[in-house]
Structure 1
């Protein structure tokens, strides 16, 4: 008997786990919008039959919104989304307060410290525009994200408006609205109360009419409706001032022709929310199972994972976690390369190194800096959950291979674990020089924030360290080199203050020779480490004596301008014009410089080498010191930023033609090696082409080894187009003639 063959199901190319930012549109919602646009396209304000049908669609959706939220006799008006709802609510409340004479510093406007930025920014803006001049205060939260009720009790009597959330967009932490209401109303029965319910819709039971909540904004695109549609609940007794006036739509509360296709789509979603059969929207019990499965998959990849929010304080659809030794971007880049979409926090917030939500909760800095948000929607299917878990579990091999997580597995020493690695954290640089053949390595100028990463590389690759070196030390800073020696149990008994082995003038690593040269001035005790091979001076690790684009500062406690000038001239005599100069800081994101480039990019540096008189040199340094005092970001020196870019930006539409017309074009993947393994570039190129892997951390190594040819045209690619553009700028500085950048990066090829 023949059995029908079963074709194995192919995993989707994209696993979307960022539903708190936005959701895909449900098919029933898309169908409702299309039907509305094609068949029910009338203006709801028109009195003819087509308009009456449109009006019926609008009011049906309003009725559904009323039922789902338990709005009772409260007003439901359609908006463009939650931000508009927040703005109009804040304006209404503040205008009412002004009319009541409640203004000035004695009137408080309170908001939760973990609120979405739309809330405090709206308060600040309209408080100023309406000249209320009230005092705005953040309500503290504890480590579980719960509001400080004592603070509310103390400050609510003087408050005119209190803004809180039902569920947090970053952590999924929900508030006990009944307890919060009791606290607020016991302290001030008349205060206006706004509750951001965006992340609560479809995830929490809402009965707004049974509460004294005055305003509750909702957004459709957070629950499978299109972007640009939302609605606002306004309690019957709450003041409301129309934010948009005109034709009198929405009962005069929000003028402008309604977004009927969006409203129809939202109505279709709300219809599904009300269904009890679980055909689309899953039960809370099922969602908790999904959360458990996804968390288990994450722990399989990252055994040391720590949850930043957990039961019983959360809705089940958000997993916020951190992994020791990882920053948010590390994990996001890895997951994105593998086709798994996650985020580091609110998609509406600017790129910041920490999560203000976790900071407000008082969690450790490493948890805030490494916070990842994985969020799924209440309509996730069992198949989608299984696909997501499988995709996440598949990353275990990647993180093990690239020593992102240390295991007992035999290491794989691919090309990226050989030669010079430049590891960067913000503006600080650390260097590893590795010889894969012998398994030996050197560390130069480790940075505290990179210590865990360096440990993983050393232990994961089973490397033998010859030395952990520093070019200089700042007495007020903890020595990262000392931290690294202690963590790796490295013998420091027979080393000097820089980690240089005593009674040793030259360190040898494979065919590299390293020597040191005293270069004080930035601080009293400093050296430069010179790397040579075959009698050629390849690199000088110069600490903060010379910076890419500038010169180190000398106004520190043990700095000396005249000594620094002599050190720079002495160093210049020991190296070649094209020797790569690698610094401890890279404020202008230039990665490296040379004597020749330094003279071109810094007028002051050129003058130093030309024999700048002592008096003029001191005057120039004093001017730099004054500038540094107003730019504390440049802790160790000041740079003069040059503006350069790629020779040309290539769009996706022209990529195939360029690759065919220029067969000599070399495609360069500048993503880090673990990203390249998780998601190879070749499979997304429209035309077959050889791809050379040159991660940004290996860019300086590629310059040293002459891996790249300056006269050959290059096309640089990364995930988004940002890192590759950065690499383009670096290569253009170093004389590469034709350097293209793929606009939008791999994200637009996938």
Structure 2
């Protein structure tokens, strides 16, 4: 049985059309016909070539009609990026030939432009040695370019680049008003308009404008990738970007991509139809948008739109939800088979949206932005299916306390025991007793405060204490904010500065007992917290005394190398070699460590515990302090870790054989609980495979409770293969010998 045959039907709801679209069936059929029947070279003079040439020119004529370009050139390209390069090179060469070079010459682009525009401007400005000054045109909170800025800078500009519609927000610019401003201030400036997101979504009448260049891309409108076209106004300078056989009247050499052009022909024909088209009118698209927005609000009632009417095309919904980062919602939706994005597909690894930053929106909106985009060929059935799938997530976010409702709280499987939550390098911990429904929070950080409060309130837990291991110098504690969010008032006369109850050395929360141990050195007031479960010592929260792969720094105010050494030796005696050490920072994705592991990774620590003279220890800490003081980012310790890799990486096509080879293999689903509820891993695997749902936030808890055994053969799975690889490395460090990672995760199984 192949991995593909294993997969149960979880239909994909694709809502990321601004990144790319599926190929419309008529376009795919046209491309296939061109490849198999009308495969001639348009440059050939025989009948087969003549037919191909006719197809090419008919498509060119249709393009003219659709964009309202009765004059000028239509040049077929490989896509928008090539069109952008050609436009910029042409304009800059013309400027250089006219002597318009140097720092006083301006190249202007909208600050929310696709990265292809500013990066191309920078590249060719340098390569062609124009050496102009490149400036971003500011936008307002609605994403509209600043007309006053343009009015001031246009006199010095040789090129200005704007968008018809933005790929992240759907914000459209008023091209008529822009043209009036641009040509009244500088009639000779070269003007490029990125029209990639415009065709099929807004009316274009390029013949009645003075736009010099307008690139278009096929794969954004149901054609295959690798085909597009560029409009060039009559009289605008043009320099062929690709020279050779003289195709496209010498404007773009190279044999034309006739299958792609045939697909464009089919798309253009559908757009040109007055009745029966695969594309829907604007009123229908606005109706779809409202239906999708209503469905989203059933899941996230506090949803905030980052762009809205009357400034947008109807096919883009850009939103943020208070308390959520983009990745949280992306993972949730992806597990449910709903494909959305966190902005531009070309900037998917950027934690914030540069577009929303340019609009001046709050950080939480930029960090949490989600783009849902559909195409103008979406059917009523597809819209209803998407809305239905989205609404189903309302129960998931309620169950896992991602959003609080009036539903009766239940203690779901993962909301008990030890939970390790992470934000970048910051770690927060929740200890929950399922029997007494009591909780203790350790080292709360502000980015996780709402999430922690939702768990406490949503599960109806009694918050016994909120404690910091020390006063953090790199971030503010969320202790007071968390108590307020949880509806509790801190009684300052009953706790110390870290939140530990006065005149008590022990805290009890059901089956858990916590003991305080003074461990100064990193800071003078620092403590470690020993965690006992049913009288058994299970773990210790050590703050920044020891980090996974590192030792806390001592060059801060109140820090002491001698005190830190004493604290580490005290912890080693109290805890033993194999007790889990849980830190307040994790810079290297180590999650946790033990003294035996830490000594193996850091000979300096082993020397300290052997009671060797302190001179070498102190010299190394001073060297560490110098390194930390020289970096631009604040770190609470120097971490240098080389992780062991997973035992092996399993390719999706080899999954069946791997599972059959060792039937007792335990499959570990390391996705977070809300992802597991949104889309069960069992959908992708045979029915007889044993699956353990073990999110990364519960990895430490699993080791404490011996849920995993070192001799077991484990296959770890997540959505993309990234988190499962991290978990493999962590377990390998902890002595697990047979740990495997499914490459590409469920994404390559779906």
Displacement after TM superposition at 1:571 (Å): 1.6
Structure 1 counterpart of 2:471, from 470, 473, 476: 473
**Cα distance in structure 2, aligned partners of 1:113 and 1:539:** 50
The whole-number CA distance in structure 1 between the counterparts of 2:474 and 2:702 is: 35
* Mapping for residues 96-245 of structure 1, pairs under 5 Å: 96-245=94-243
Residue ranges of structure 1 left out of the alignment (5+ in a row):
1-9
CA distance in 1, matches of 2:233, 2:601: 63
1:616 is the counterpart of 2:616: yes
The 10-residue stretch of structure 1 (617-626 or 72-81) with the greater mean CA deviation from structure 2: 617-626
What is the SS of the residue equivalent to 1:248?
Answer: coil
Distance 1:408 1:714 in 2: 39
> How far is 1:534 from its partner?
4.4
Match of 2:245 in 1: 247
Partner of 2:659: helix, strand, or coil?
Answer: helix
The superposition leaves residues 474-499 of structure 1 with CA deviations (integer Å, 9 ceiling, x where unpaired) of 36743211111122232421111111
CA contact (8 A) 1:542 1:581 kept: yes
Distance 1:372-1:350 versus aligned 2 partners, 3 A rule: closer
Asked if the contact 1:228/1:262 (under 8 Å) is kept, the reply is yes
CA change 1:534–1:487 in 2 (3 A) is closer
> In the aligned structure 2, how far is the partner of 1:554 from the partner of 1:107?
52
Contact map agreement 1:26 1:225 (CA 8 A) in 2 = yes
Residues 655 and 686, structure 1, Cα contact 8 Å, conserved in 2:
no
Cα distance 1:95–1:526, how it changes in 2: closer, same or farther (>3 A)?
Answer: same
- SS class of match (1:568): helix
Deviates further, 319-328 or 510-519: 510-519
**Cα offsets for 1:426-470 (capped at 9, x unmatched):** 111100000122110000000100001011101100000110010
Q: CA deviation at 1:612?
A: 4.9
Partner of 1:79: 77
Contact kept? 1:435, 1:441, Cα under 8 Å: yes
Q: Is the 8 A contact 1:682 1:688 kept in 2?
A: no
Paired residue for 1:577?
577
- Which residue number corresponds to residue 710 of structure 1? 710
Task: Give the structure 1 partner of residue 511 of structure 2.
Answer: 511
Look up the match of 1:637: 637
Q: Quick one: distance in 2 between partners of 1:507 and 1:644?
A: 37
Q: Can you list the C-alpha shifts for 1:563-601, whole angstroms capped at 9, x where unaligned?
A: 222221222121110110111111100100000111111
Aligned to 1:6: none
- Indicate conservation of the 8 Å contact 2:643/2:730, yes or no: no
Q: Residues 78-477 of structure 1 correspond to what in structure 2 (within 5 A)?
A: 78-474=76-472, 477=475
For residues 549 and 413 of structure 2, the distance between their equivalents in structure 1, rounded to whole angstroms, comes to 30
Distance 2:366 2:129 in 1: 35
* 1:172-211: CA deviation from partner (whole Å, max 9, x where unpaired): 0000111111111122111111111000011111111211
Q: Which residue of 1 aligns with 2:3?
A: none
Q: 1:17 aligns with which of 15, 18, 31?
A: 15
TM-score by length of 1: 0.97
Which residue of structure 1 aligns with residue 563 of structure 2? 563
Aligned mates of 1:653, 1:36 — CA distance in 2: 33
Q: Is the 8 A contact 2:142 2:307 kept in 1?
A: yes
State the distance in 1 between where 2:555 and 2:109 align.
43
Look up the SS of the partner of 1:423 in the other structure: strand
The answer as to 2:744 corresponding to 1:747 is no
Match of 1:602 in 2: 602
SS of equivalent residue, structure 1 residue 154? helix
| Conserved 8 A contact 2:443-2:477 | no
How far apart, in 1, do the equivalents of 2:488 and 2:63 lie? 65
**Range with greater deviation from structure 2 (516-525 or 154-163):** 516-525
Contact persistence 2:433–2:511 (CA under 8 A): no
Distance 1:427 1:381 in 2: 44
The alignment partner of 1:242 has SS state of coil
CA 1:416–1:200 in 2, change beyond 3 Å: closer, same or farther? Answer: same
1:711 partner SS: coil
Give a deviation string over 1:116-153, Cα, whole Å, max 9, x none. 01011111111111111111111100000011100000
Determine if contact 1:732/1:739 at 8 Å carries over to the other structure.
yes
In 1, Cα distance between equivalents of 2:686 and 2:747: 14
Offset of residue 686 of structure 1: 4.1
CA shift, 1:512, in A, is 2.0
Instruction: Kindly indicate whether the alpha-carbon contact (under 8 Å) linking 1:656 and 1:687 is maintained by their aligned counterparts in 2.
Output: no
Aligned to 1:7: none
Contact 1:550/1:605, CA 8 A, preserved across alignment: no
Q: Give the Cα–Cα distance (whole angstroms) in 1 for the partners of residues 75 and 157 of structure 2.
A: 26
- Give the aligned length: 741
CA offsets, 1:45-101, max 9 Å, x none?
000000000111111111111111111211110111101111111111111111111
What SS does the aligned partner of 1:325 have?
coil
Whether the 8 Å CA contact 1:660–1:687 is kept in 2: the answer is no
1:647-686 matched pairs, under 5 angstroms: 647-686=647-686
**Contact map agreement 2:10 2:683 (CA 8 A) in 1:** no
d(CA) in 2 for partners of 1:466 and 1:12? 42
Q: How many angstroms apart in 1 are the aligned matches of 2:534 and 2:437?
A: 21
1:631, distance to aligned residue in structure 2 (A): 3.1
Shift of 1:557: 2.7
Which of 678-687 and 97-106 deviates more? 678-687
Report how far residue 650 of structure 1 moved. Answer: 1.0
Aligned-partner Cα distance in 2 for 1:107–1:262: 39
- Tell me, yes or no, if the aligned pair for 1:444 and 1:469 is still in contact at 8 Å: yes
CA contact (8 A) 2:667 2:714 kept: yes
Q: Note the alpha carbon deviations across 1:23-61, whole angstroms, 9 max, x for none.
A: 000000000000000110000000000000011111111
In structure 2, how many angstroms separate the alpha carbons of the residues matched to 1:704 and 1:12?
35
SS at match of 1:394: helix
Residue 23 of structure 2 contacts residue 224 of structure 2 at CA under 8 Å; is this kept in 1? Answer: yes
* SS across alignment from 1:582: strand
Q: Does the aligned pair in 1 maintain the 2:79–2:228 contact within 8 Å?
A: yes
Distance in structure 2 (CA, Å) of the matches to 1:573 and 1:400: 44
TM-score, normalised relative to structure 2:
0.97
Aligned-partner Cα distance in 1 for 2:357–2:604? 41
Aligned partner of 1:39 in structure 2 is 37
Q: Is the 8 A contact 1:162 1:191 kept in 2?
A: yes
